[in-house]
Structure 1
Amino acid sequence: MGSLTLIKHNAHRVDVDGLAMLMHVPTSSLFEMDTVSASVYELFRKLGVADAGTLQSELGHRFPPADLAESVQSLITLDILRDSADPGRPITVQKVEDIPLSTIILNVNTGCNLACTYCYKEDLTTPAKGEKMDFATARAAIDLLLKQAASRDKVNVVFFGGEPLSNMPLIRQVVDYTEAQVADLGKTVDFTLTTNATLLTEEIVDWLNAHRFGLTVSMDGPRALHDKNRKTVGGRGTYDVVAKKVAMLLSRYNARPVGARVTLTAGVTDVLAIHDHLINDLGFAEVGFGPATSGPIAVFNLQPEMLKSVFEDMKTLGRRYVEAAIRGENIGFSNMHQLLSDIASGMKKAVPCGAGLGLLAVDKEGDLHLCHRFVGSNQPTYGNVNKGIDVPKLAAFVEQAQDRSNFGCKTCRIRSICAGGCYHESYARQGDPFAPVYHYCDLLRDWVDFGIAAYTRIMRANPGFFRAHLQPRSAA
């Protein structure tokens, strides 16, 4: 062999309880290195470049030549080692010629009966001023979805707001229409909805149950924390009414597990107490946390030290998750579910999410947005439900999003999991949807390392946990 060089940005080693775990960065695949492979990798990490003579002189006294050659070849195949004369390989941008939708998000009302301080919705208004989507627009959106999803067996319809339950008549019409259409086409449909729960009634819950909605309730923990930000338009805290509605919901709803979505802001960062209350006191199946770092009112955003503290608490909760998983129990921590799912599946993202590819959001006028977060913003739209998707315009966006090498993402070890981060987070914080979420970068790299260790420990002690808990959740 000639001289080989280590492609540092294609491999990342994490030591877990005496095991040398190697993440293949381009695919996020995880390998346990044996002593030979670990030694070869460390030699190249130390020297950068080595040839057969160097390999033999440094490691030949410890390992047979055939074993060394096999390890080297494995690293070459993974593009972790490369001919030192190779000038490098440019990022391959996959051309987008069509938009194979699987999900449509209907923003059914701009009005909301709450006035949460951290809300990012730029078109949000009070209930009296709310502008509701009409059925003609919603029907055209469903028709567009089914046309673009011709090759898919399943489609997803998401209802969003404002508070989506404030346009319940439209939701009923859309569900009836969509179910009839997919039945004729031999497809299935999954409906999901995020709600503040204040408008739930027994009749609505039973109807949602009959149609097997995936439900998420926005709730920020115990009364003292929830009421800091989640207030009515008149300024009153909403914990008591939400907790009462949640109790009713969970007592009647059995179609699918119900989760809670928590927004962490300045003063609302007690991850452990919030999780404990929402799971053990209120009975949610799982809880997911979203740190606010780019909301419209800066005083509520988490500053760097707060954000670091939040991630440390999430790791503490993650360790509890691992301990429970080893016992075969699931404590319902959505962020860990997602992290472990990404690692278990060998995530290989070219773009951060399905926005603009498998997913589009529709506003009340029928205009198409990258996702629900962009509705009401000054960012471009990409067609209309009546005229169709502006494929060239949307394709140009997605293709540009695949190459963020000018921002440093090309050599980041979590690029296949993060792919630069949320477009809207970047737009809201930096004014550019393509700019990476730099305020998260180091924390996310640490979070992924934590996930690799968690995955390894669970896999060694109780691999059945993944089959019992992660795969069914993914399928749902």
Structure 2
Amino acid sequence: MGYLHYQPQNAHRVAVDGRSLLFHVPTTSLFEIDRLDHDVLDLFADRGLVSEQDVRDRFEGRVDPQILTERIRALLDLDIVTDGGPAKAERPPIHIENFPLTTVVLNVNTGCNLSCTYCYKEDLDTPSKGRRMAFETAKASIEMLLKESPDRDSYNVVFFGGEPLSNLALIREVVEFAERRFGELGKRVDFTLTTNATLLTEEIVDWLNAHRFGLTISMDGPKALHDRNRKTVGGKGTYDVVAAKSRMLLERYTSRPVGGRVTLTRGVTAVTEIWDHLKNGIGFHEVGFSPVTSGPVTPFNLTGDELVTVFDEMKRLGRHYRDEALQGRNLGFSNMHQLMSDLYEGRSKALPCGAGLGLLAVDHEGGLNLCHRFTGSDMETYGTVESGIEKERLARFIEDRADRTEKGCATCRIRNICAGGCYHESYAHYADPMKPTYHYCDLMRDWVDFGIEVYGDLIAKAPAFFTDHIMPRRAYGK
């Protein structure tokens, strides 16, 4: 048979509760393997190049040659070993011609009534100096959605800021227009909003409920932790008002689950404690965590040791998630839920997210940004809602970012889950969105390995969890 060549970048083995699982990297698929599969892989891992004599020396007299041939053929089919020819391309090179937009993010006001110490927004203003989006700009954004993706059945309009509720008048106007415009076309439109909750009233909550907004509340945990960074412009902590408003919202809101979003900064790493307070104390349906590792406000970036602590804490909470899932219950840990969704659906991502392709963010002046994190930054924009998308430049950016040649991503075992990491994280850390997020690659690999172990446990012992909790979550766009 000549020599067979091992392709270690395409296979990753994980042990789960006495079982051996093979993670097929190109397809993000997971297979259970037996002792013989394990021994065959050991041979290839030991040798790299394997001859027919090598196979005979290792297995002759103890394994049926026909069975052994079938196992090796399966590895060839998966491109885990090759016959010396070029390895199969995981996917053809990305070539962008169309922009299938489904989501537009409207930065409705640069002003915010809070002054959170870690805020990454480069265009953030105090309330009195906030620059508000005009209705005509928002209207043009919606028309751009329809122009670029006329054949979609549903669309999403996201309201962002600053604090988006500080321009509620525009939000109301946009919702009225969008519901009429999409309705006339027989299409559905969903609305999403992230808020600091301080401006919520019962009347506003009831209006949001009537229009079925997907809501996320920014809150950083118990009072002592939340008040460290989430302060008013005058420097006063906001926990008391945010907690009261959130509880009022959760008592009245019925149309969709409401999630909490936590920003983890230097000194704020108690993931399990924060989750418990927000899930069980406040009552959010799910809680998700965003570690701050990069950005211009360096005193608030997590240190290397703290980032390790954060991932250890996330795995601790992840084990609790697994234990509850084995009993058929959803713990409400967004980061773990997302990882389980990716593995269950077998997603193999060429790009880290839909920014610039399925989603664009519109700043208050109508400029088109990769996502909401870039509005007001020094990062180039890609056209305006009036002139349209500068498609050639935007396509070149996406194609170049997806090219893994001469990047560590090319052989990384989580390359099709991470896909190089967040554009803005790279921009903040390296001042270059083209670079992968190398600064926490090892931690991400360890996190995904942990997720594979949990997934392997759940799919074997509690497969109904995925149909009962993972797939319904997709219907909510969460």
Normalising by the residue count of structure 1, what TM-score does the alignment of the two structures yield?
Answer: 0.98
Tell me which residue corresponds to 1:210: 210
- Secondary structure at the residue paired with 1:406? coil
Tell me which residue corresponds to 1:199: 199
- For residues 409-439 of structure 1, give each alpha carbon's deviation from its aligned partner in whole angstroms, at most 9, with x where no partner exists: 1011100000110000000110110111122
TM-superposed CA distance for 1:56, in Å, is 2.5
User: 4+ residue runs of structure 1 moved beyond 6 angstroms?
Assistant: none
| Partner Cα separation in structure 2 for residue 336 and residue 379 of structure 1 | 31
For 1:137-176, what aligned pairs fall within 5 Å after superposition?
137-176=137-176
Tell me which residue corresponds to 1:39: 39
Tell me which residue corresponds to 2:308: 308
| Partner Cα separation in structure 2 for residue 86 and residue 49 of structure 1 | 14
Tell me which residue corresponds to 2:254: 254
For 1:15-54, what aligned pairs fall within 5 Å after superposition?
15-54=15-54
- Secondary structure at the residue paired with 1:106? strand
> What is the percent sequence identity of the aligned residues?
60
* Contact 2:107-2:363 within 8 A present in 1 as well: yes
TM-superposed CA distance for 1:52, in Å, is 2.5
| Partner Cα separation in structure 1 for residue 59 and residue 175 of structure 2 | 66
**1:429–1:315 distance in 2 versus 1, CA, 3 Å:** same
* Contact 2:230-2:237 within 8 A present in 1 as well: yes
- Secondary structure at the residue paired with 2:429? helix
TM-superposed CA distance for 1:85, in Å, is 5.0
- Secondary structure at the residue paired with 2:159? strand
For 1:177-256, what aligned pairs fall within 5 Å after superposition?
177-256=177-256
| Matched positions, count | 476
| Partner Cα separation in structure 1 for residue 26 and residue 65 of structure 2 | 28
**1:91–1:410 distance in 2 versus 1, CA, 3 Å:** farther
RMSD of the alignment, in Å?
1.3
- Secondary structure at the residue paired with 1:440? helix
| Partner Cα separation in structure 2 for residue 225 and residue 149 of structure 1 | 43
* Contact 2:192-2:215 within 8 A present in 1 as well: yes
| Partner Cα separation in structure 2 for residue 15 and residue 56 of structure 1 | 27
* Contact 2:193-2:215 within 8 A present in 1 as well: yes
- Secondary structure at the residue paired with 1:439? helix
* Contact 1:321-1:333 within 8 A present in 2 as well: yes
| Partner Cα separation in structure 2 for residue 353 and residue 230 of structure 1 | 28
TM-superposed CA distance for 1:83, in Å, is 1.7
- Secondary structure at the residue paired with 2:191? strand
* Contact 2:26-2:90 within 8 A present in 1 as well: no
- Secondary structure at the residue paired with 1:158? strand
Tell me which residue corresponds to 1:390: 390
- Secondary structure at the residue paired with 1:23? strand
Tell me which residue corresponds to 2:438: 438
Tell me which residue corresponds to 2:467: 467
Identify which range, 368-377 or 87-96, moves more after superposition.
87-96
TM-superposed CA distance for 1:51, in Å, is 2.3
For 1:113-152, what aligned pairs fall within 5 Å after superposition?
113-152=113-152
TM-superposed CA distance for 1:89, in Å, is 5.6
* Contact 1:266-1:300 within 8 A present in 2 as well: yes
Which runs of no fewer than 5 residues in structure 2 stay unpaired?
none
**1:87–1:148 distance in 2 versus 1, CA, 3 Å:** closer
Tell me which residue corresponds to 2:263: 263
TM-superposed CA distance for 1:73, in Å, is 1.2
| Partner Cα separation in structure 1 for residue 186 and residue 282 of structure 2 | 39
- For residues 5-38 of structure 1, give each alpha carbon's deviation from its aligned partner in whole angstroms, at most 9, with x where no partner exists: 1111111111111211111111211111123222
Tell me which residue corresponds to 1:352: 352
Tell me which residue corresponds to 1:380: 380
Which runs of no fewer than 5 residues in structure 1 stay unpaired?
none
Normalising by the residue count of structure 2, what TM-score does the alignment of the two structures yield?
Answer: 0.98
- For residues 256-298 of structure 1, give each alpha carbon's deviation from its aligned partner in whole angstroms, at most 9, with x where no partner exists: 1100000001111111110010011110111000001113211
| Partner Cα separation in structure 2 for residue 269 and residue 211 of structure 1 | 36
